[in-house]
Amino acid sequence: MSQTKMEQFREMFAERLGVKNVDESKSLRDLGLDSLDVVEMCLDLEDRFGVAFETEELSSFKTVHDLFAAVEAKLNA
């Protein structure tokens, strides 16, 4: 059974944080991610999944849910 791109992203995100499950209500900052970490992750996503983020979008990601929703929208576009 092949994983969807979103499932792959969720696994990649959890692995990067060193956890099994990620609480989407948590703020990225509470998880120890700073703005550079978010930019690096988005660059990885662009390379791996062929999506593109605008610079302005990156600063709008405050919670895990914000980031996941933006990625899902890009992958389903």
- For the chain, give every domain's residue range: 5-76
The secondary structure of the chain, three-state, reads CCCCHHHHHHHHHHHHHCCCCCCCCCECCCCCCCHHHHHHHHHHHHHHHCCCCCHHHHCCCCEHHHHHHHHHHHHHC
pLDDT category, 1, cuts 50, 70, 90? very low
pLDDT category, 2, cuts 50, 70, 90? low
Q: For 19-55, how does the pLDDT look when each residue is reduced to its tens digit (9 = 90+)?
A: 888 888 989 899 888 889 888 988 988 898 888 999 8
34 as an active site residue: the answer is yes
Mean pLDDT of the chain: 86
Report the Cα 40 to chain-centroid distance in Å.
10
- Cα gap 17→9, rounded to integer Å: 12
Topology of domain 5-76 in CATH is 1.10.1200
Per annotation, catalytic residue among 23, 30, 34, 47: 34
Predicted TM-score (pTM) of this structure: 0.77
Half-sphere exposure of 9 (CA within 13 A, CB side): 25
